[in-house]
Each structure stands twice: as structure tokens, then as C-alpha cells.
Amino acid sequence: MFSDFDWDVILRSLPYLFFDGMRFTLMLTALATAGGIVIGTLLALMRLSSFAPFSIVAGGYVNLMRSMPLVLVIFWIYFLVPYIGQWVTGASRPIQVGALVTCLVTFTIFEAAYFCEIMRAGIQSIPRGQTEAAKAIGMTYWQTMGDVILPQAFRNMIPVLLTQTIVLFQDTSLVYVISVTDFLGAASKIAQRDGRLVEMYLFAAVVYFIVSLGASIMVRRLQRRVAIVR
Amino acid sequence: MKYNWNWGIFFEISPDGVHTYLGSLMFGMVWTLATALSAWIIALAVGSVIGVLRTAPNPWLARFANGYVELFRNIPLLVQMFLWYFVLPEVVPSSIGTWLKQLPNASFYTTVFCLGLYTAARVAEQLRAGILSLRSGQRMAGLAMGLTLPQTYRYVLLPMAYRIILPPLTSEFLNIIKNSAVALTIGLMELTAAARSMQEFSFQVFEAFTGATIIYIVINIIVVNGMRILEKRLSVPGYISLGKPAAAH
Amino acid sequence: MIEIDNVSKWYLDFQVLKGCSTNVAKGEVVIVCGPSGSGKSTLIKCVNGLEPFQKGNITVDGISVGDVKTNLPKLRARVGMVFQHFELFPHMSVLQNLTIGQIKVLGRDEEESRVRAFKLLDRVGLHEFADKFPGNLSGGQQQRVAIARALAMDPIAMLFDEPTSALDPEMINEVLDVMVALAKDGMTMMVVTHEMGFARSVANRVIFMDRGEIVEDAKKDDFFGKPRSERAQLFLSKILHH
């Protein structure tokens, strides 16, 4: 039971856990969120386009990503990226790709599908009159979207986007399946090496819990403020 | 891109010596569905209780229910899986721990419980939103008629709340199917794990993953359409349900 | 029948009811009126315990509403209530709306409650709507069903919380007609409403509330003849000018 807990193992491995593990986790979360929002917004514009091929392609992509488990997508990309690299660079055999790139590609294209749905809802929540007003003063499609619709949609959706980022933060733990040293990966490696599964997994749970809960409390506060301003 | 495609691989015998690779993917699918359905029962039952408690007048019960939701929503599913599978048997009295470790199909039971309790938090969140979306007059009308509070929930509030949250419940059910893939980390041979093992033995990476992907898509389409039919049958004149399936997963 | 004695109620530190006292005798029709936010809806919801109150006492047929030992569901089953927004149960047919309380609360069997339900649907002129759902009915029809639903429980008194204020103007009379008939049958009624025509034709007494207080509690003729308080006079002059 708890009496033979080795709390010291946590203390000893703190630098490794945070400087190697957590740094990777946070970097992946931040970059994938940024990439996911950009691609997701473009996908949303395609989905809402009146040009049928655009909306069909974007819709198909989103539905494909949303029917697959993230773990399976991670495997797909893990094996696919070397071949794509080979194809792009014209190398004679599949090229080696670093863990960060693999994870980044995976999470960006996977989360883009979810960010797309959020941005689509955001764009649709802006009254039609806004588009008409922008067009009426002679703005082009990109001006209308870039200067009028998207800034409003983005602002309205900030709390939802942040909540999705917290989900993404938790999801990054799944890179465990390709043995990447993110925070959980680091904890797991120490756990296996020292035979201290109980301590390390409990500690990992506590850290994830504190970070996620803290972030979601801040999002809720922000939401209240945004709600009052509007 | 130089890759030796071999779609015939599905009909070759897998390392178990009996079934084809296609057969082993099908076994994986059955495990995925069995896990998801069992976990869904737990998720609905526990999630309903927690969701109702969150709207109940007793502040202590509401606080307990809120705590449950926060706890299960803010720890990654994979970490929860490890806690149930690796940590729990070590921190309970050793006789129970040994029993847990020797349980046949331990990874299946662990996954069902873990996924069930995890998804329950999300079901609870949806149900609470559904109940709160009803006008407070509905509760009053039930009470004014002499129904007790539990009866008011049973006959007045919950039948409407469940109808309203049917679309988000559909996406939660789809999530539970997808999330069951996380169980490959504790050795459950569900669909993704089956594809992974097919890839490892046959070296036909993309055929294996394509096979699994198609099966997931088909399951998805069947569930979405099934729920659409259910939604139509349960629809109430003058009411539409809360939008389309929600984004999060 | 209904005794309200010195009732006060607070939302946090905001006082919504200030020492309200009045009573409704058996067979009496009492109108409660007053500007919005005056506490009249809150007061009527205190009568069947839908809103808790912190001070004072309310008894219905001799049973104390605020007493923790009182079986509130049992008491509420004997007092009918009609809401501003009807509050029919949208997932049940009109008939089921009328039978659910009879079956689950009064323990009547299905057949008995159906017979009773159809009798009341006849009374409000909606017999042929029994199998429709509330969403298929107009506002006026929904409110008549809601009245029938309350009557199906054979109440000893009826509470009406602004029963016509959510209705389109052309539907108000069909509901008031049902209420007038009910009053003439001798039902004990407490009605929050601004329909002064209705008050004139059936009320015994009129209560005027403002800022959580009962400002005026007078016989109908005295109230419409010459209200004593300025606030009531002002209110009446505003409302009667429409």
C-alpha cells in the first residue's frame, strides 16, 4: 500500500519529466493548435462554400477524420510520412522523420477537422446581414471574410477553441503508442525502468489534472467576461 | 512512392494459423463493439445519475456530481486506463489486487469500466445541459400536479431532456467506439490493435490500416443513420433537438 | 380555504414579499393584480409551496404549507395550478397530459382517468384534440387543456398565474370564458391577472400589490369604485386606458 511508496523517484525525475516530457507536450499542443486552427478555418470556409467540389471535399475530410480513432490516425501518419517524404524529396527509400514532426503532422491534420466544425459554427453564428453589409460597401470575398466575418467568429468562439485546446493537450498523451517521450512517455519510461508504476502514473494523473482543471477554470472565467461584454 | 501493394493479404492466413487476416480484423471489430456497448451501458447509467444530481436541489449532492465530472474530464483517457490497469491492483489490499491481476480478460473489463466511467462524465454534462434547457415552469407544473421530485424527473423532465440531447449523445456513442482503441495500450485486441498486429506480421502497413479505417467508417455511418431513425421516431411536435453532434471527442 | 399570514420572502438580500396577509374563502374568486415585479406571481407560487418563503405562514384547508412535516406533493395534488406559459408536457398527448397526474398521484386506473379526462376536455371544448400533442395546438387551446389538466385532479381550489398574458389577443376570450364558467360553478380561485373585465364580472375581491406589499385588499366594487391608495389609482388608470 501507500507505506512503501517511493516519493523520491518523482523528485529525482522531475527535471526529466518537465524539461524533456512536459516541454514536448506543451510544444506539440501549442503548435498543433495553431496549425489546426489555420487549416480548420480554411476547411470551414471550404465547407461553407457554394462551390460544390470544395464543400464536398472538406466535408468528406472532416467526416473521415471524425470517424477514426486518434490512435489509428497516429499509426497512419507514423508510417505514411516517411513514404511521403521519400516521394517529395525523390529519395531512394522512405526517409526517417523525427518524432516531433510526425506528432505535429498527426495532431494538426486530426484536430483541424474538429477546429473546422467549431469555426463553421462560429461563422454561421454571425448574422447574414454582416456579409451583405460588407458586400454592399464593395468588399471582396476575402475582405469580407478576413476583415468582417472571421474576426467576429473567432472572438465568439475563443472559449470553445480554448476548450478544444485542453482536449488536445490531453490527447497528446496518446503519442505513447509510438514511444515518443512526451510527459506521459517520460513518466512511463521512469516507471518501467525503476519499477515504480504506481508513483509515476499517479503523479502524471495529478499533473494532467491540475493543468487541465486550471486551464478550464480560466476558460470559464473568460467566457463569463466575454458573455458580459457582448 | 515505392510501396508493394498486396490487397490479397486479407485472404492469407494470419499467424494464428486458422483465420485469415480479414478474419482477425473482424474479431477486432467484434471486441471494439463489445467493449463500446458494455461501456456505453455504464456511461448511460452512471452519467444519468450524475447529470440529475448536478441539477438537484441538494447542494452537497450537486457538489459531489460536479467533482466527479471535473475529475474524469481533466485526466487523459490513456492515463485513466493506466490507473485502472496498473495502479489499482497495487493500492488495494493485496488479496483483491492479486485477484484483479489474475482475472481472465482483465484488459477487457478494465477498458469497459474505465471508458464507461470516463464517458459518464460527458453524458452527465450533456444531460445537465438538456435538463437546464427546459423551462423552469415544466418542473413547477410537475410538482404543482402533486408529483414528487423524483416522479417529476421521471415523467416530465427526463423524457424531454433525453430527446433534446439525442444528437450529442450520438456523438458520445461514436466517441466511445473510437476511444476504445486506447485500450490497445493495455493489450486489448480491438480493431486498431488487430490492424497494428496485422501490419507487424504481414508488413502490409497500409492495407491493414485501410481495412480498419473502412470498418470504422462503416460503423460510423450505421450508428449515425440508426440514431437519425431513432430521433425521428421520438420527435415531439413543436420541438427540435439541440443542434447536430457536438465537436469535442 | 387559503390563509396567508404575514408572509415575507427574500432572494439573497432582496426582499420580494413584505409581510403579505390575506385569505381566500371557499367559493370565493380573488384577483391579484399589480405592476410587473410587484411579487404577485411569487405570492401565488408560495400558496402551493413552489416558492419557499422565510417568514410567516400559509395554510390551505387547514394544512400549513411551510411546515417541513407537511406532505407537499399531497397538498399540491389538491390545489390546481395554471401557468402563464401553459407548461403542458410536450412529449405527451393531450389525453396523457390529463391522465398522468390522476394515475401517478391519485392512483386512479387508466380507464377511470380517461373517462374523467374526456369529461373535462368536453367541458373546455377540446374533445377531438385528445390524441394531438401540445405542439400542434394554438396557445388558447393549450391553456384550455392546461386548465382541464388541473381540474382532472378534482382540486379544492385553483391558482392561476397570469393565464392569458402569453396569449395572442384573439385567444384571450376563449380562455377567460372557461374561467368565468368555472367561477360561476363555485370554484375557489386565486387569479393573478391584468384582465380587469374578467375581474369585474366574476371577482369577489381584488388585491393590489406593489413592490412586494399588499397595498389594497378590497371588495370588487370598492376597488373599482374608488381605490384608497394612490398607487392603485395610478395602476388602474394605466391599465384601463388600453
Please spell the DSSP secondary structure of B39-80, one letter per residue: HHHHHHHHHHHHHHHHHSS-HHHHHHHHHHHHHHHSS-HHHH
**Res. A120: pLDDT tops 60:** yes
Pick B3's closest partner by Cβ from A1, A83, A188: A83
| Site from C74, C91, C108 to mutate, B interface, most B CB atoms within 10 angstroms | C91
Mean pLDDT over each residue of chain C, to the nearest integer: 91
Distance in angstroms (rounded) separating the CA atoms of residues B169 and A188: 33
Contact across the interface for B148 and C90, Cβ inside 8 Å: no
Touching partners of A (3+ C-beta pairs < 8 Å): B
A218: its cell numbers: 480560466
Assigned domain for C67 exists: yes
Closest by CA to A32, choosing from A186, A165, A208, is: A165
Higher pLDDT, residue C14 or A88: C14
Is the CB of A6 inside 8 Å of chain B's CB atoms? no
**Average pLDDT for A125-147:** 89
Contact B137 C45 (CB under 8 A): no
- Identify whether C91 is part of a domain: yes
Q: What is the pLDDT of residue A228?
A: 54
Listed by start position, the domains of chain B span: 20-234
Distance in angstroms (rounded) separating the CA atoms of residues B95 and B85: 16
Residue of C nearest to B143 (CA): C73
Task: Write down the pLDDT at residue C43.
Answer: 94
Q: List the beta bridge partners of residue C10.
A: C15
In contact, B135 and B89? CB cutoff 8 Å? no
Select from B135, B144, B151 the Cβ nearest to the Cβ of C48: B144
Nearest-angstrom CA–CA distance, C194 and C32? 8
Asked if A115 and A164 touch (Cβ cutoff 8 Å), the reply is yes
Number of domains in chain C: 1
Q: Kindly report, residue by residue over B41-63, the tens digit of the pLDDT.
A: 999 999 999 999 999 888 999 99
Instruction: Note whether B166 and B231 are within 8 A (CB).
Output: yes
Q: Answer whether A205 sits within 8 Å of B216, measured CB to CB.
A: no
Residue C99: DSSP 8-state: H
Instruction: Give the model's confidence band at A227: pLDDT under 50 very low, under 70 low, under 90 confident, else very high.
Output: low
Confidence at residue C6, expressed as pLDDT on a 0 to 100 scale: 93
A-B contacts at Cβ under 8 angstroms: 126
Backbone angles phi, psi at B105, to 5 degrees: 60, 35
* ipTM of the modeled complex: 0.91
**CA pair distance B216, A76, nearest whole angstrom:** 14
Task: Give the range among A164-173, B119-128, C191-200 with minimum mean pLDDT.
Answer: C191-200
The CATH architecture assigned to B20-234 reads Orthogonal Bundle (1.10)
* B:52-111 residues touching chain A, CB 8 A cutoff: 70-71, 73-80, 82-83, 86-87, 90-91, 93
- The answer to whether the Cβ–Cβ distance between C133 and B236 falls below 8 Å is yes
**Of all residues in chain C, what percent carry a pLDDT higher than 70?**
99
Which range is least confidently modeled, A85-94, A143-152, C130-139, C189-198? A85-94
> Could you give phi then psi for residue A63, rounded to 5 degrees?
-65, -35
Q: Is C191 part of a structural domain of the chain? A: yes
**Is residue A176 very low, low, confident or very high in pLDDT (cuts 50, 70, 90)?**
very high
Segment (H or E) for C79: strand C79-82
Average pLDDT of the segment spanning C7-14: 91
- The contacts of residue B176 (CB under 8 Å, 6+ apart) are B36, B39, B40, B43, B115, B119
- Cβ distance B192 to A167 less than 8 Å, yes or no, reads no
Is A162 near chain B, with CB under 8 Å? Answer: no
Residue C216 lies in a domain: no
C155 part of a folded domain: yes
Does position C1 have pLDDT exceeding 50, yes or no? yes
Hey, which chains touch B, using 3+ CB pairs under 8 Å?
Answer: A, C
Mean pLDDT, contiguous 10-residue spans, chain B (249 residues): 76 80 90 96 96 92 95 96 92 86 88 96 95 92 94 94 92 95 93 90 87 95 92 79 44
Considering only residues A105 and B97, tell me which one the structure prediction assigns the higher pLDDT.
A105
Tally of CA atoms within 13 A in the half-sphere of C242 that contains its CB: 9
Q: Quick one: angle between helices B59-73 and B106-133, nearest 10?
A: 130
Query: How confident is the model at residue C241, as a pLDDT?
Result: 62
Considering the domain boundaries, does residue C13 fall inside one?
yes
The CATH fold of domain A2-229: MetI-like fold (1.10.3720)
Domain that holds residue C66: 2-30+45-203
Do residue A70 and residue B249 have CB atoms under 8 angstroms apart?
Answer: yes
Closest partner CB to A167 (pick from B78, B199, B248):
B248
Write out the three cell numbers for B47.
452519467
Inform me whether the C-beta atom of residue B181 falls under 8 Å from chain A C-beta atoms. Answer: yes
What is the pTM for the complete model shown? 0.88
| Chain mean pLDDT for chain A | 90
Q: Which of A174, A201, A203 should we substitute to test contact with B (largest number of B Cβ atoms within 10 Å)?
A: A201
| Consecutive H or E run containing B200 | helix B191-202
pLDDT, average across residues C13-20: 92
Neighbours of C31 (CB within 10 A): 26
For position C64, which CATH number holds?
A: 3.40.50.300
Decide: A and C in contact? Rule: 3+ Cβ pairs under 8 Å.
no
CB contact under 8 A, A176 and B80: no
In chain B, residues with a C-beta closer than 8 Å to the C-beta of C108 are none
Touching check for B214 and chain A: CB below 8 Å?
A: no
**Partners of chain C (3+ Cβ pairs below 8 A):** B
CA distances from B178 to A60, A187, B33, B172, C180 (A): 18, 25, 10, 10, 61
Q: Closest residue of B to A117, CA-based?
A: B247
